[in-house]
Structure 1
């Protein structure tokens, strides 16, 4: 790996991180706000909590140029006295999943009755399971989100904790297509083909038209390099650029759990 290539890749990786970091910061702020709110409520109820969630996320969902297409709070089963299973999730006007007449911000209509055939246990999904296991923020995707977007999506979730117990998650959805619009101009500044992958090696964006979004990037040594990030749910990030056996350079994109691959 030449010094010039390392320097160029480092700069691009930092710019990729700069796209994602504001979303992380936003969700961290929501987490802190919700933890303060819930800490003062001995018997939280969905009827009281939902307006607060809507007020918290509405400004960002309505902001021109936002990357976020959905956001909110997902409660741990049994936590809310009046809603054993509960998604307090709102969708932006840019979210095309079951659009409401007239557009604007709208509530996700989720099935919360476990006896219904349409019910889905969200605690089995990656965006819930990994933060529950690691206690830290997690980036899931790209994946087809049949619950909230019905399209290729990246979801960022982080635990909400009260009294040392995880009572739910706060998070946000981003369309991969929208992420590509922002990331591709950055990646195209490199003279070599560039691909951004998640901790599992799945492609988020690439300047190589043969690299399909959501597909695994199969390069010798890549899976092994990303293994610690994958095992930790993204809580551990690779700290240094590395060269794969085939000559590709891999550079971590800050602490986003994403990595830049320059071939």
Structure 2
């Protein structure tokens, strides 16, 4: 019976991965473009200048991410490049971040692709040092792609959000991160029907155990799922090596969802307990 349960849960985990992994691949592709054309002999290929600056880089980033942001059915609602402090000579702090027409943050009613209006003056009371935030801090420390959230993103969406970022390296130094935002509500619309294929409670969590979506209405988005043994089962998701399915003492099955650093926590349906 446990083999049947294992296979059913793994099938659902693969469906979840198939929804998220294309976004991860897209972000990795953007990183590749920027790393190739902003470093070494290729420096200036995108911007037309050997020294990138905010004025020339912004339209390049818009062209890179804008098509996906405005694609019908796109999961993401924001995307772009955040520069390392001091990388751009004309902008010490700079977010070349674009919001889709579906993103209502700071909107004046115009349903159009637009650049995030972020405060970049460190002397302003509204200034936010983005290098202290998880979506910057973790990729800067690990050198790897990172999924942050769910969290309430007061900088770009003012709603529960998942942010995927990966470091951009040019000439041996990290020059920023490139990434994308997705509303958790949009992810739930895609993933809840998949989770409901499981006969018992099915909960999707990040590597820290925070809830992304759940068929159990008592499990709120962004809250920590507190189950004995869950933290240990999720620990490998923080590492480069692959995590494996694990049964917890309470009867829950934890199944990694591909390369997403998310995991399905599946409680056995009553009919097969």
- Whether the TM-score (by the shorter chain) exceeds 0.5 is yes
Partners of 1:237 and 1:201 in 2: CA distance: 17
1:135-154 equivalent positions in 2, closer than 5 A = 135-154=143-162
Using a 3 Å threshold, how does the CA distance of structure 1 residues 254 and 156 change in structure 2: closer, same or farther? Answer: same
Runs of 5+ unmatched residues, structure 2? 45-49, 268-273
The answer to whether 1:65 aligns with 2:69 is: no
Runs of 5+ unmatched residues, structure 1? none
1:229 Cα deviation after fit: 2.5
What does the per-residue CA deviation read over 1:136-195, in whole Å, with 9 as the maximum and x for residues that have no partner?
Answer: 100000000000000000000000000111100000000000000000001111111100
In the alignment, which residue of structure 2 is the partner of 1:115?
Answer: 123
Using a 3 Å threshold, how does the CA distance of structure 1 residues 148 and 79 change in structure 2: closer, same or farther? Answer: same
Partners of 2:237 and 2:110 in 1: CA distance: 42
1:237 Cα deviation after fit: 4.0
- Aligned partner of residue 102 in structure 2, secondary structure: coil
Scaled by the length of structure 2, what TM-score is found? 0.93
Partners of 1:22 and 1:36 in 2: CA distance: 21
1:245 maps to which of 249, 257, 267: 249
Number of equivalenced pairs? 259
Partners of 1:33 and 1:83 in 2: CA distance: 22
Partners of 2:134 and 2:242 in 1: CA distance: 18
In the alignment, which residue of structure 2 is the partner of 1:258?
Answer: 262
2:55 maps to which of 47, 59, 62: 47
In the alignment, which residue of structure 2 is the partner of 1:161?
Answer: 169
CA RMSD of aligned residues (A): 1.1
Partners of 2:210 and 2:83 in 1: CA distance: 28
Using a 3 Å threshold, how does the CA distance of structure 1 residues 139 and 176 change in structure 2: closer, same or farther? Answer: same
- Aligned partner of residue 208 in structure 1, secondary structure: coil
Scaled by the length of structure 1, what TM-score is found? 0.96
Partners of 1:35 and 1:63 in 2: CA distance: 25
Comparing 34-43 with 161-170, greater Cα deviation is found at: 34-43
Partners of 1:71 and 1:127 in 2: CA distance: 13
Comparing 82-91 with 26-35, greater Cα deviation is found at: 26-35
1:217 Cα deviation after fit: 0.5
1:101 Cα deviation after fit: 3.2
In the alignment, which residue of structure 2 is the partner of 1:93?
Answer: 101
1:226 Cα deviation after fit: 1.5
Larger gyration radius, structure 1 or structure 2: 2
Partners of 1:100 and 1:70 in 2: CA distance: 17
1:93-242 equivalent positions in 2, closer than 5 A = 93-230=101-238, 232=239, 235-238=240-243, 240-242=244-246
- Aligned partner of residue 110 in structure 1, secondary structure: coil
Partners of 2:248 and 2:10 in 1: CA distance: 16
1:227 Cα deviation after fit: 2.4
What does the per-residue CA deviation read over 1:85-131, in whole Å, with 9 as the maximum and x for residues that have no partner?
Answer: 00000000111111133211011000000010100000000000000
Q: Is the 8 A contact 1:70 1:90 kept in 2?
A: yes
Partners of 1:19 and 1:100 in 2: CA distance: 31
Partners of 1:171 and 1:164 in 2: CA distance: 20
- Aligned partner of residue 60 in structure 1, secondary structure: helix
